[in-house]
Amino acid sequence: MKKVLVLIFAALLAFSCVNRKTQIQSVSLTPIMNKALNEPSSFYYAGFKSYPTNLKNLPIGISASSLDGLNLLEAFLTADNFDNITGAEKSDGILDFAGEEFTFFYDGANAPYELYVPNGKKDLLKELVVKDAIFLAGSRYSKDPSDKERKGVKSPVKVIIMAGNTSAAYGYHDVKTLMEQSGTGVKTISPVDAASYALAAKLKWNLSSETDTVGIGILSAKDTLFKNELTLKIDSYLRAEGSLGKLFIEDVDASGLVEAMEKNINYIDTASKAPRRNYMGPHIGSGEMDIRLNLMRVYGFDYKLYHILFQKERDSVKNVQINSVKNYAKFYLISLIEKYRETGFNRPLKYIVLGDSELRGIVDTLYDAVSDLRDYRYHGEPIYNEVLAKDLQFVSPSEFAAKECYRILRGGHNLALRTTDYSLKAFVSFPAYGLDPSCVDENGHFTSGYKYGRDFGTEEVSYLNVPFSSAYIKTDSLGIYSQYAPVAYKLITKNNNR
């Protein structure tokens, strides 16, 4: 039977909303927030006073700093977590957001967001995130990169979902403050925040005394930021509830898995039948993120169809290379579980958080790998049963965001409840025409020097938000989402204004 990603938690209703509110940071107005709220002459003035008073028929807004935001959109488009008649948390065979309109915005001009802080541009990053929200909440767009008058007309949104761990980590509280100050009633949702709250709601029952302990694992690509945010937020919510126990969180960098899912030829090459020089995945070694020969039986790799490439010399194996998504999934999952096991932490792993939304697409493979581990015997002993909780669950922040969004909209009587299919309008940012030639490359994209060297707080309009088109994307990478986010992929390609 196909396993379904477990979406939790009924215990949310018992978790104090008052305590959650006490954890929100106070944020002073930044220059861009002040422009949006108080400066009618600014290009970035939002005009919130004329915002529609009835939010019900407005679209759901999603801002993304990479096309991976399509995976979060997929979670919304396929969600069936609630009874749409009663509101009870149970599937009813009807999509939760059936009939809703979505606005998807990809800030391609300024991506990737991950490089601003290392370049000393945190304030610029936060400003960009706020500008994303201003656009979603606005009613104008540019018809092309030369249209600074923004002649296009669109609907403002009724809720803002912030896809992307970096944008949420640095800009969530600014966006939340802006929208609270706007008086529009538009709420802001961070998947990491929603996941932290939901996990804390469940975990508080397991951490009521000082001797209680719970273990959580994280699979995420090069994202210690995600682990730090998740840990701090869960701990903050738990302490507010008076929980006394110990929460232990372990993670691994699953970059190779994400790269393989995105069909990066340096990680997976279906045409190869032997080890290759350009391979950048894990190699044989003794480190925690190496392929360890003593764990080969534990990995349980699939060797068919050259899904594992290797060289064999006499009785030894050399140069093992992983060459399928399924095998990458097994490797990183077992690397996480081994890392957790080797810490000696004496409580089984209860939850594994999928820090990258695209990992939702292989959750069945991950559950299968866990099942294989339960069956594994070492000298007749099922050694992994002590590490894996009987009810181990893989959980995804994007799923929690979808749940929180449904609750917010239903609670405010703002679900559209249309009988038509859902629809999507998509936009992408692109450098404005007419910039100094030194600011852009031969394809019109920002140079790294200009992108990460700009100042914040200025009135400069260096990019415009236009209807989505693959012509404005650096690489034609949409195709990778057809397998793991098929519904979102179908809608975004329908909106591809080439």
* CA distance linking residue 282 with residue 284, whole number of Å: 7
Order the strands of the 423-431 sheet from edge to edge: 187-189, 159-162, 60-64, 101-106, 423-431, 463-467
State pTM to two decimals: 0.89
Q: Is 12 within a domain?
A: no
Sign of CA dihedral 109, 113, 118, 122: positive
Residues with Cβ < 8 Å from 486, sequence gap 6 or more?
74
* CA distance linking residue 98 with residue 94, whole number of Å: 7
246 and 309, same domain (yes or no): yes
408 and 392, same domain (yes or no): no
153 and 225, same domain (yes or no): no
Last residue of a domain, one of 370, 397, 424: 397
42 and 105, same domain (yes or no): yes
308 and 434, same domain (yes or no): no
346 and 447, same domain (yes or no): no
Is the distance from CB of 84 to CB of 93 less than 8 angstroms? Answer: no
Give the number of domains in the chain: 2
Q: Is 11 within a domain?
A: no
Phi, psi of 384, deg, nearest 5:
-85, -10
- Can you name the residues that pair with 217 across neighbouring β-strands? 250, 352
293 and 405, same domain (yes or no): no
417 and 392, same domain (yes or no): no
444 and 368, same domain (yes or no): no
208 and 346, same domain (yes or no): yes
Q: Is 269 within a domain?
A: yes
Last residue of a domain, one of 397, 427, 442: 397
CATH code of the domain in which 90 resides: 3.40.50.1860
How confident is the prediction along the chain (498 residues), in pLDDT tens digits per residue? 444 334 333 343 344 443 444 444 556 899 999 999 999 999 999 999 999 999 999 999 999 999 889 999 999 999 999 999 999 999 999 999 999 999 999 999 999 999 999 999 999 999 999 999 999 999 999 999 999 999 999 999 999 999 988 999 999 999 999 999 999 999 999 999 999 888 888 887 777 777 778 889 999 886 667 888 888 888 888 888 787 778 888 999 999 999 999 889 999 999 999 999 999 999 999 888 999 999 999 999 999 999 999 988 777 778 899 999 999 999 999 999 999 988 887 788 989 999 888 898 899 999 999 999 999 999 899 989 889 999 999 999 999 999 999 999 999 999 998 888 899 999 999 999 999 999 999 999 999 999 999 999 999 999 999 999 988 986 567 888 888 899 999 999 887 765
290 and 334, same domain (yes or no): yes
Domain encompassing residue 145: 26-190+399-494
Amino acid at 161: I
Q: Strands 349-354 and 388-395, how do they pair?
A: parallel
From 216, 206, 163, select the one nearest 353 (Cα to Cα). 216
Amino acid at 19: N
168 and 309, same domain (yes or no): no
Last residue of a domain, one of 364, 397, 430: 397
Q: Is 436 within a domain?
A: yes
